[in-house]
Amino acid sequence: MTLAQRLSQLTLRLCGWRGVFVPPPSARGIILVYPHTSNWDFPTAILYKATTGLPLRWLGKDSLFRWPFRGLLLRLGGIPVNRRDPTGFVDTLLREFSRHDFMWLGMAPEGTRAYTDHWKSGFYRIARAGQLPVGLGFIDYSTKTIGIEQYLDLTGDPGADLARIRAYYADKRGRYPRNAGEIRLRE
Rounded to an integer, what distance in angstroms lies between the CA atom of residue 136 and that of residue 127?
13
Return the pLDDT at 5.
96
Q: Specify the pTM.
A: 0.93
Q: Would residue 61 count as lying in a domain?
A: yes
| Sign of the torsion angle spanned by Cα atoms 54, 57, 58, 61 | positive
Is position 187 within any domain? no
* More confident site: 168 or 1: 168
Q: Return the pLDDT at 185.
A: 95
The domain total for the chain is 1
Which domain covers residue 66, as residue numbers?
A: 3-18+28-142+153-174
Among 136, 124, 129, residue whose Cα is nearest residue 94:
129
Between 169 and 90, residue with greater pLDDT: 169
Within-domain flag for 183: no
Instruction: Quote the distance between the C-alpha of residue 124 and its chain's center.
Output: 13
Would you say residue 180 lies in a domain? no
- Give a yes or no: residue 118 inside a domain: yes
Q: Is residue 23 part of a domain?
A: no
Q: Is 43 within the bounds of a domain?
A: yes
pLDDT in tens, 112-132: 899 999 999 999 999 999 999
Q: Is residue 182 part of a domain?
A: no
Burial (CB count within 10 angstroms: exposed 0-12, middle 13-18, buried 19+), residue 115? middle
Mean pLDDT of the chain: 95
